[in-house]
């Protein structure tokens, strides 16, 4: 008789492993990425390709140099690259993208011991690092146009949230901002990061993840819900100073953040109760930054700040065990 395998029970396993999860998230990001490519053209393709390839290369090199097992096959570096690309302006120069990958993989993930040990979302660490270090490149937003009418000269302009902030600073009222047809950010016809422009595409991807049970509804619903409620209250109090909640929901990085960044398993609480606390915290901080902060957008900062609180949230929301006495 040939040798038998011996191990502790259980002897069967769900087919849904870590690479499967990473693949599902990548699939779910594809609609948003395609919209970015449609409206921003070849430069968007370049940013995505450079980000994904450089993330994988950096991870492999780091693991080789530090003598660890090379884990690029788990798909997490590909996903980090794709998420990073979707959080960058579509006109980002190649060196900026590569620098972002370096920061995401090494500072964001590997120094903590690799996948599973990082406290902060790697793609967001890189995005915020770049935003603070290279404010000009990181806030130069090419304007959208159809893929089939791309010209050599790129027109840049403000994002809807940026225009809103400018209107408040210069005119003291949000009504001075250029009127925005809400169908534009819904479908993606606005300025912004490569992958955040179409709320519709991102919601579709998010629903896919919830249906496949890759993520639960708790974080997206509570994050988006708390932004809606809070911006709604202030809009109700003073519609001259505060934009309406529909505007806040579908412009900026909220959908990308709520469905894809704030749901990163590694950097979010482990229980559903904890996820709700985390998501509401993200919503409140996002709104505070958007309404009263110096930056027009607060999703990245909000998620990173809440990432830091995850151990505390986990401790506070530990489930009561069965038969507790």
Partner 1 sequence: MKTFKGGIHPPEEKDLVKNNPIVDLPLSSVFYVLVQQHLGAPAKPIVKPGDEVKKGQPLSEPLGFVSAPVHAPTSGKVTAIAKRVHPVTGLLAPCIVIEADGKDEWVEGLPLNRDPFTMKKEELMGAIQSAGIVGMGGATFPTHVKLSPPKEKTIDTFIVNGAECEPYLSSDHRLMLEQPERVLNGMRIAMGILGLNKGILAIEANKPDVIKIMEEKAPPEIMVEPLKVKYPQGAEKQLINAITGREVPSGGLPMDVGAVVQNAGTCAAIWDACAHGIPLIERITSVTGRGIKHPKNIRVRVGTPIQEVIDFCGGLTEAAKIIYGGPMMGIAQFSDQISIMKGTSGVLVLTEKDTNISWYSGCISCGRCVEACPMCLIPSTLSKLGEKSMWEMALGNDLLDCVECGSCTYVCPANRPIVHFVKHLKALQRAANAKKKGA
Query: Which stretches of the chain bind partner 1, using CB under 8 A?
Result: 1-2, 4-14, 16-18, 20-21, 71, 74, 113-117, 265-272, 275, 318-325
CB of 310 to partner 1, least distance (A): 8
Tokens found for residue 306? 């809440």
Of the pair 139, 317, the CB lying nearest partner 1 is at 317
Q: Per the omega criterion (within 30 degrees of 0), is the bond before 10 cis?
A: yes
Of the pair 247, 278, the CB lying nearest partner 1 is at 278
CB of 289 to partner 1, least distance (A): 26
The phi, psi pair for 244, rounded to 5°, reads -75, 160
CB of 59 to partner 1, least distance (A): 14
CB of 200 to partner 1, least distance (A): 27
Of the pair 7, 149, the CB lying nearest partner 1 is at 7
Of the pair 97, 123, the CB lying nearest partner 1 is at 123
Closest CA to 194 of 283, 87, 269, 92: 87
Tokens found for residue 108? 């964001």
Length of the chain: 325
Identify the burial level of 73 via C-beta atoms within 10 angstroms of its C-beta, where 0-12 means exposed, 13-18 middle and 19 or more buried. Answer: exposed
Token pair 């151990």 is found at 311
CB of 102 to partner 1, least distance (A): 21
Alpha-carbon dihedral 247, 252, 258, 259, rounded to 10 degrees: 110
CA 6 from chain centre, in angstroms, equals 42
CA 91 from chain centre, in angstroms, equals 18
Of the pair 294, 320, the CB lying nearest partner 1 is at 320
Token pair 């974080």 is found at 219
The phi, psi pair for 141, rounded to 5°, reads -105, 110
CB of 279 to partner 1, least distance (A): 14
Distances (CA, A) of 243 to 161, 221, 233, 258: 10, 21, 11, 20
CB of 20 to partner 1, least distance (A): 7
Of the pair 66, 272, the CB lying nearest partner 1 is at 272
Closest CA to 196 of 157, 130, 249: 249
Tokens found for residue 129? 């690092």
Based on DSSP, count helices (H) and strands (E) in the chain, helices before strands. 14, 2
CB of 13 to partner 1, least distance (A): 4
Collapse the DSSP code of 145 into the 3-class scheme (helix H, G, I; strand E, B; otherwise coil) and give the result: coil
Of the pair 179, 321, the CB lying nearest partner 1 is at 321
Of the pair 64, 318, the CB lying nearest partner 1 is at 318
Of the pair 4, 152, the CB lying nearest partner 1 is at 4
Confirm if 212 and 273 have CB atoms less than 8 A apart. no
CB of 75 to partner 1, least distance (A): 11
């Amino acid at each position: 008789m040939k040798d038998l395998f011996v191990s502790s029970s259980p002897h069967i396993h769900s087919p849904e492993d870590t690479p499967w999860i990473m693949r599902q998230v990548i699939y779910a990001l594809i609609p948003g990425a395609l919209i970015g490519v449609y409206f921003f053209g070849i430069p968007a393709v370049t940013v995505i390709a450079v980000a994904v390839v450089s993330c994988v290369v950096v991870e492999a090199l780091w693991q080789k140099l530090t003598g660890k097992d090379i884990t690029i096959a788990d798909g997490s570096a590909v996903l980090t690259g794709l998420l990073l690309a979707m959080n960058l302006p579509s006109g980002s120069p190649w060196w900026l993208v590569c620098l972002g990958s370096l920061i995401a993989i090494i500072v964001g993930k590997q120094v903590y011991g690799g996948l599973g040990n990082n406290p902060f979302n790697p793609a967001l660490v890189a995005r915020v690092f770049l935003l603070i270090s290279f404010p000009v490149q990181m806030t130069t937003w090419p304007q959208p146009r159809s893929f089939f009418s791309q010209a050599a000269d790129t027109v840049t302009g403000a994002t809807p949230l940026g225009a809103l902030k400018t209107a408040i600073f210069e005119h003291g009222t949000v009504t001075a901002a250029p009127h925005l047809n809400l169908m534009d950010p819904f479908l993606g016809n606005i300025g912004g990061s490569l992958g955040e422009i179409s709320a519709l595409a991102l919601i579709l991807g998010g629903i896919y993840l919830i249906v496949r049970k890759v993520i639960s509804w708790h974080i997206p619903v509570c994050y988006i819900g708390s932004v809606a409620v809070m911006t709604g209250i202030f809009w109700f109090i003073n519609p001259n100073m505060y934009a309406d909640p529909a505007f806040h929901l579908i412009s900026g990085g909220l959908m990308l953040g709520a469905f894809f960044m704030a749901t990163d398993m590694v950097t979010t609480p482990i229980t559903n109760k904890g996820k709700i606390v985390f998501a509401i915290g993200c919503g409140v901080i996002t709104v505070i930054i958007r309404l009263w902060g110096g930056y027009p957008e607060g999703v990245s900062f909000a998620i990173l700040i809440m990432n830091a609180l995850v151990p505390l949230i986990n401790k506070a929301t530990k489930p009561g065990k069965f038969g507790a006495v």
